[in-house]
A = this chain, B = another copy of it.
């Protein structure tokens, strides 16, 4: 009975913390999508105040005693708990304790200082990127790196300070394991890129030209919405808006907000941003309603989150089967540009492999090299081996070494991504983890469902979504990323499925 009462009180307090966090998420979303420019400074303060309150509630002694008491009492294993399943209650307490133990180590002043610095730095980044003005952004970044180093020191870490930050996004991951995984992957990818480069030079054609040119933005939006609904995204429980940098946010499974960005001269930019964020959005909408407002109403990790977006974007959206289904509609919406397009030509157009400057526009083969570059730089920043002032030169040198390209402007180089401006260090590697998890999940889904391409070509991704819902989305935060991967795919995370996928797909496309 005592456990029951304490558990009920714990759920109320945990829910309050998550509810206030959801309010903060709305303020952040609104800042990117709607906020008038003159409201930015005050918004930074509002977000800092909310972050402060969330931290206060998390650190409140009463909540701590409840969480620690329930965690050590151990009487929860047979308690029905969240969602009415045995074991869920114990997991909810364990995850809440994990969050709280991290939070109490961070000084309150650092939390609000970081929240305000992030909000101001996001604003500075937008202006600096628009004007290609690195010096205007550099002091903000330096301040954020200093604050994040203080956070890492406060949280504590085995191995490098980087691990303290990585752990927030990918619980349990360590950079000492992750970096070799990424280098190993790079070693397998680099020869493939070279072979494709040669094949492309021999062919001398430009398949992507089909989707560059004039594409009416209103019709692009229409197409994006149709594809999104086709994937199973529920627009009565979510929105699709426009922002400078596409992202997924929201305040719960009934309010999942995707943003995209339409390029009036390239159909691929908006469409694939929508499908990518749509994959994230399906995960968020699939988290069980009974987990909402509890510590279980969350993703397993950002790597798992990214596996959902990359799975839909690449394995579904960039498949030949996708265009078997969608070519007629694309021809209807864009008769002048695509009147004679075929699934074959569209498939080739969306799978151009070509080293490029911008990560979010990179093809599937070169994409992870962009991530490896960012991981290397932020790891060195956090370890204090380099300074933010060194970043532009190092960025350009590393990109030249990896992809043979040097950006003409910082706007296309070190200023391209919003992440560092948001204080998100330790986040980028989750993108590559996402690609790897996605490939491994895809093999498992294919083993379970049979010919995925046949389903996709019929426009029927319902079985795929149902499989993902049951195996991934419905678990919320019950399982760690590792455990989920083992349970669903039967194996630890490996690079092999992803490399197999790349070699199969691009080998066929380029005849290499």
| A interface list, Cβ under 8 A from B | 15-16, 19-20, 22-24, 26-27, 30, 34-43, 45-46, 48-50, 52-53, 234-239, 250-252, 254-255, 292-293
Instruction: Determine which of B42, B234, B251 lies in contact with A251 in the assembled complex, contact meaning CB atoms within 8 Å.
Output: B42
- Residues on B with beta carbons closer than 8 Å to the beta carbon of A237: 36-39
Cβ–Cβ contact A50 & B251, under 8 A:
no
* A-B contact sample (10 more), CB < 8 A, given A35-B255, A42-B251: A19-B45, A19-B49, A20-B53, A22-B42, A23-B24, A23-B46, A26-B27, A36-B254, A38-B236, A40-B254
- Report whether B23 and A252 are in contact in the complex, using a CB–CB cutoff of 8 Å: no
* Interface CB pairs A-B, < 8 A, 24: A19-B50, A20-B46, A20-B49, A20-B50, A22-B46, A23-B24, A23-B49, A26-B26, A26-B27, A30-B30, A36-B235, A36-B236, A36-B254, A37-B237, A38-B234, A38-B236, A39-B237, A39-B251, A39-B252, A39-B254, A42-B252, A42-B254, A42-B255, A42-B292
Nearest Cβ distance between residue A242 and chain B, in whole angstroms? 13
CB < 8 Å neighbour of A43 from B20, B24, B30, B251: B251
The residues of B that contact A24 with a CB separation of less than 8 Å are 23
Q: Which residues of chain B are near A23, meaning CB under 8 Å?
A: 23-24, 27, 46, 49-50
A36→B255 contact, CB < 8 A:
yes
Whether the pair A37, B236 counts as a contact (CB closer than 8 A) is: yes
Residues of B contacting A236 with CB < 8 Å? 36-38
* Minimal beta-carbon separation of A82 from chain B (angstroms): 16
Residues of chain B lying within 8 A (CB to CB) of residue A52: 16
A41 & B254 in contact (Cβ 8 Å cutoff): yes
A25 to B24, CA, bound (A): 12
Task: Please measure, in the bound complex, the distance between the C-alpha atom of A234 and the C-alpha atom of B36, giving whole angstroms.
Answer: 10
Is B30 within 8 A of A26, CB to CB? yes
User: Is A36 a contact partner of B252 (Cβ separation < 8 A)?
Assistant: no
Chain B residues within an 8 Å CB radius of A39: 237, 250-252, 254-255
